[in-house]
Amino acid sequence: MAAAGVRLDLDGRPIKPKTICMIGAGGFIGSHLCEKILLETPHKILALDVYNDKIKHLLEPETLTWADRIQFHRLNIKHDSRLEGLIKMADLTINLAAICTPADYNTRPLDTIYSNFIDALPVVKYCSENNKRLIHFSTCEVYGKTIGSFLPKDSPLRQDPSYYVLKEDASPCIFGPIDKQRWSYACAKQLIERLIYAEGAENGLEFTIVRPFNWIGPRMDFIPGIDGPSEGVPRVLACFSNCLLRRQPLKLVDGGQSQRTFIYIKDAIEAVLLMIENPERANGQIFNVGNPNNEVTVRQLAEMMTEVYSKVSGESSLENPTVDVSSKEFYGEGYDDSDKRIPDMTIINRQLGWNPKTSLWDLLESTLTYQHRTYSEAIKQAISKPVAS
Ligand code: NAD
Ligand code: UDP
């Protein structure tokens, strides 16, 4: 039996403390991953990002018990000669850096493609050349649209899971035409996945690819006009939170008919930690990480968030809590959408024995409690300020 306090991997072997180079550590997922690693493991983190607001509580004050296990390096991986040295200092690199908000895919397609493909190239190269393991964050969006979405609306086959459940080793990647620039992100992510896979096949790179399916929770994105640009459009959790906080109707793009499965960030982070600590089981794998039990249409999400927010804030909901908007009006030209995203869980379950736990209601309750506590005062102040003439 291992001594008390020694962490064991899934095969019962003691886990050696590692140094992790985490690129994009200051973002939503990075902040939760840093927290988990510092609180529950002995591993060290070299945290790389342009920003550190979301991990400030982990960096300051310097008297924190884990202070010697996290080092923040403010750098942009587009142009910083320190990158290779930092990757060399670590046992493992985790790359989270990306432009990953849909409002950018059709309005800033060049930045999106550069960020998700070109900027990730040196990371893959340095890992491969220096024999360092890489965990790369891709996206469920590489699946694009489901096969079922091309069937006639009344086809009974639409109910058959083989036409919509998304499997890492079997499902095709189906994107719209080039002028639908929404797909610039998915396409760039797909190409970097293929490159990493080829580095594994031809040069022996040890890699794991993660495909997150709508991970949500505290610290996701920003609230426009409070801790982000007033005109900015974050992902759906923050868009809907912003409207609830401001007592405005939630905007349903093209009727809110698209379907998504949402997973609580804390469940998803458990899966990433298993990947970090079980390289033999995770190397060479592509993992869907999502919660197939939490499927809703965007309209149902809006209704549930309205109900949960009313409960946690004590405020009544609006008489008309939602309003329909066209995607052209909301996102501009070139927007398109994934119709449905249900992850197949066979591979992650077989390799890591992992399953998500938290229901949609419970994860919205804790997340909206956080949103209300963090932002409601700031919103009240912003609303009460006289508009400059
Ligand atoms: P995020 O935007 O909160 O985090 C990304 C971080 O990367 C940011 O802090 C940003 O400053 C940093 N970054 C971007 N470009 C950089 C650069 N050139 N140099 C240094 N730092 C840079 O996003 P997130 O939700 O935490 O997502 C992390 C990863 O997971 C991304 O690759 C994203 O595509 C993927 N992903 C996330 C989800 C989800 O549900 N949250 C879904 C699909 C894919
Ligand atoms: N959406 C919406 N209203 C909003 C923001 C998003 O109806 O205010 C829709 C969007 O069109 C998509 C879904 O919500 O169908 C999820 O959008 P998100 O930005 O979270 O990212 P995605 O899951 O598409 O990557």
DSSP letters for 65-117: TTGGGEEEEE--TTS-THHHHHHHH-SEEEE------HHHHHHSHHHHHHHHT
Which ligand 2 atom is nearest residue 243's CA?
8
Confidence of residue 49 (pLDDT cuts 50, 70, 90): very high
pLDDT at 3: 53
Ligand 2 mean position to 63 CA, how many Å?
41
The atom of ligand 2 lying closest to the CA of 139 is: 25
Quote the pLDDT of residue 2.
47
Whether 185 is catalytic: yes
Contact between 115 and 97 under an 8 Å Cβ cutoff? The reply is yes
Q: How far does the centroid of ligand 2 lie from the alpha carbon of residue 242, in Å? A: 14
The pLDDT-based confidence of 5 (bands split at 50, 70, 90) is confident
Per-residue pLDDT at 345 exceeds 50:
yes
The whole-number average pLDDT for the span 245-260 is: 98
Question: Looking up tokens 């997973």, which residue turns up?
Answer: 263
By the 10 Å C-beta count (0-12 exposed, 13-18 middle, 19+ buried), 352 is classed as buried
Q: Which residues line ligand 1 (CB under 6 A)?
A: 24, 26-30, 49-51, 76-78, 96-98, 100, 115, 119, 137, 139, 212, 214-215
What pLDDT score does 387 carry? 62
> Averaged over 15-28, what is the pLDDT?
98
256: Cβ below 6 Å to ligand 2? yes
Task: Tell how far the Cα of 338 is from the centroid of ligand 2, in angstroms.
Answer: 10
User: Three-class SS of residue 221?
Assistant: coil
Q: Distance (Å, rounded) from C-alpha 320 to C-alpha 134?
A: 48
pLDDT value of residue 320: 96
pLDDT, averaged across the chain: 97
- Ligand 1 centroid – CA 57 distance (Å): 19
- Counting ligand 1 atoms within 8 A of each CB, the residue from 23, 29, 123 with the most, and so the one to mutate, is 29
Tell me, rounded to whole angstroms, the distance of Cα 267 from its chain centroid: 12
What are the residue ranges of helices labelled H in the chain?
28-40, 56-59, 82-89, 102-107, 109-116, 121-129, 184-203, 236-246, 265-277, 279-282, 298-313, 327-331, 346-352, 360-384
Report which protein residue has its CA nearest ligand 1's atom 9.
27
Dist. CA 12 → ligand 2 center (Å) = 42
Nearest-CA neighbor of 209 among 135, 274, 273?
Answer: 135
1 has a pLDDT exceeding 50: no
Distance from the Cα of residue 167 to its chain's centroid: 18
pLDDT at 385: 78
Q: What is the pLDDT of residue 4?
A: 58
Is the C-beta atom of 145 inside 6 A of ligand 2?
no
Ligand 2 geometric centre to CA of 337 (Å): 8
Q: How confident is the model at residue 220 (pLDDT cuts 50, 70, 90)?
A: very high
Position 388 confidence tier, pLDDT thresholds 50, 70, 90: low
For the residues 75-92, what does the mean pLDDT come to?
A: 97
What integer pLDDT is reported at residue 389 of this predicted model?
52
5/24 Cα distance (integer angstroms): 30
Ligand having the closest approach to the CA of 339: 2
- Number of alpha carbons in the 13 Å side-chain half-sphere of residue 335: 17
With 90 as the cut, is the pLDDT of residue 8 above it?
Answer: yes
Catalytic residue among 143, 164, 185, 335: 185
Nearest CA to ligand 2 atom 14: 236
Residue minimizing CA distance to atom 15 of ligand 2: 258
CA-based max dimension of the chain: 72
pLDDT in tens, 106-165: 999 999 999 999 999 999 999 999 999 999 999 999 999 999 999 999 999 999 999 999
